[in-house]
A and B are shown apart, each in its own frame.
With several copies, the nearest count.
Chain A
């Protein structure tokens, strides 16, 4: 975009160009050199800093043809004062799984965005998308079309499957129990319709982490978290364990941190022992001795459901739904489960009711029955303490 206008003074924001940490103000100013919209943003944000209040209006519903989401509409609340921020929509562009890019791809993206938008990005949004920050209604469709040419599709918004995200998984991590990136890619491709055409009560998020370290923070912020895990023994290289000890590792302290006392150190024989049946795969020992310990060989995922932020019923951390299931391409079992869950939720969920809230409202037992799963003690930290047990008519003797 061409630019002429001179940006008004931004004394408060200017302060934030100082300091060691990379400055978002500097970034906006860089963009403002060639983008009016970025200039508009700068002015409006400066005003927010002065007045201690935001200046964006409620709502905004714009989009591209054929899709029901992927764009967040945004308008300034004072177009006279901030004419260049009048329309300032963001496009949610589906990131590459694992956030891997070639410089070529990034340059192509920047070229398009300089043409159709503000030249500002969030790399990345909290859900995982590339957020293209600020364009006009008019430019949405051409921008989308151009993005299509370099293979960038939009991600999700609204009552839809949201853009998936995952950790780097097997691409760059020795702990990954699954091919997280492939799984994300495969599911994303499979659920294109569910992502682009909102038809559900509310947002639905799926995130994938290669192991229980959960570097994608999946369990805290996805309705369905797929976490890599294993069910056999941790692989131990005693040689390497001894090296750690020789290098000063205090094995008593290491063992003490095992949450279930599964880990033992035989000082005499200089041997580490792991009671596999007691191991809860907390990753601790593997984390501290990456050279000596490896995840097991029989790998798959644990499925957690219900994770979310506080609105409305309070934040939730995902609950175990499936303790262990295999996770190999083409992920048929997983897709089947996702479909059964979203179908149940779409059928019974109220408007703006997240999956976790639905399960809480209807009861876990009802939900399990609905999606065809059996109750397991792994699903709970403890069974019920209250005596308010529900019995079905078919479970009891019929009375006259």
Chain B
């Protein structure tokens, strides 16, 4: 576990750099994570997906399956990786402040 200061707030991160207290998530934190995950700038397209992930998680208590992300947002896998080069799980979910996906590895 480690801490980073984002806009004056101490934010705890786990080893993988995921936020430990999802409730503390803010757009500032998203911006911070974005840099870590090789996203130059959070565009509207990025935000659409970030918000989608947050909403989905709120509603269902789980992260959506990648296929669903693509379908519901009308993006291809290629486009998704173009937006989030480190991928939907490590990249997009982290930026959206979701708990670390624990699916299969």
Chain A residues engaging chain B, CB cutoff 8 angstroms:
57-63, 65-69, 72-73, 75, 87, 157-159, 193, 197-203, 346-347, 351-352
Contact = CB atoms under 8 A, between A and B. Distances in A.
Contacts of A202: 103-104
26 contacts: A58-B102, A59-B100, A59-B102, A61-B18, A61-B100, A61-B101, A61-B105, A63-B90, A67-B87, A68-B88, A69-B105, A72-B105, A75-B15, A158-B89, A197-B66, A197-B87, A198-B103, A199-B67, A200-B66, A201-B65, A202-B103, A202-B104, A346-B67, A347-B67, A351-B103, A352-B103
A351 B18 CA distance: 21
Contacts of B104: 157-159, 202-203, 352
Contacts of B18: 61
Contact of B16 (A61, A65, A69, A200): A61
B77 A60 contact: no
Given A59-B102, A60-B16, A193-B77, A199 B90 contact: no
Q: Which residue, A72, A75, A198, has most C-beta atoms of chain B within 10 A?
A: A198
Contacts of A59: 14, 16, 100, 102
B16 A73 contact: yes
Contacts, number: 78
B3 interface: no
Nearest to A63: B90
Given A61-B100, A158-B105, A351-B103, A66 B81 contact: yes
A157 B105 contact: yes
A66 B42 CA distance: 18
Interface of B: 14-16, 18, 38, 62, 65-67, 70, 77, 81, 85-90, 100-105
A65 B62 contact: no
Q: Which residue, B15, B90, B101, has most C-beta atoms of chain A within 10 A?
A: B15
A52 to B, nearest CB: 25
Nearest to B101: A61
Given A61-B18, A61-B90, 7 more contacts: A58-B102, A59-B14, A61-B100, A158-B89, A159-B104, A197-B87, A351-B62
A197 B102 contact: no
B72 to A, nearest CB: 13
B75 to A, nearest CB: 12
B92 to A, nearest CB: 10
Given A158-B104, A197-B77, A63 B86 contact: yes
Given A61-B89, A65-B86, A199 B103 contact: no
Nearest to A162: B104
A174 to B, nearest CB: 38
Contacts of B15: 57, 60, 73, 75, 87
Nearest to A71: B105
Contacts of A66: 81, 85
A256 B87 CA distance: 57
The 4 closest A-B pairs by CB, nearest first: A68-B87, A199-B66, A75-B15, A157-B105
A69 B101 CA distance: 13
A102 B75 CA distance: 42
A351 B88 CA distance: 15
A159 B103 contact: yes
Contacts of B77: 193, 197, 199
Contacts of B100: 59, 61
Contact of B65 (A63, A67, A159): A159
A198 B62 contact: no
Contact of B90 (A58, A62, A159, A352): A62
Contacts of B66: 68, 159, 197-200
B51 to A, nearest CB: 21
A200 B86 contact: no
Given A60-B16, A198-B66, A199-B77, A65 B85 contact: yes
Q: Which residue, B16, B77, B88, B104, has most C-beta atoms of chain A within 10 A?
A: B104
Nearest to A343: B67
A74 to B, nearest CB: 10
A364 B96 CA distance: 39
A101 B18 CA distance: 39
B80 to A, nearest CB: 8
Nearest to B64: A351
Contacts of A67: 87
Contacts of A199: 65-67, 70, 77
A191 to B, nearest CB: 13
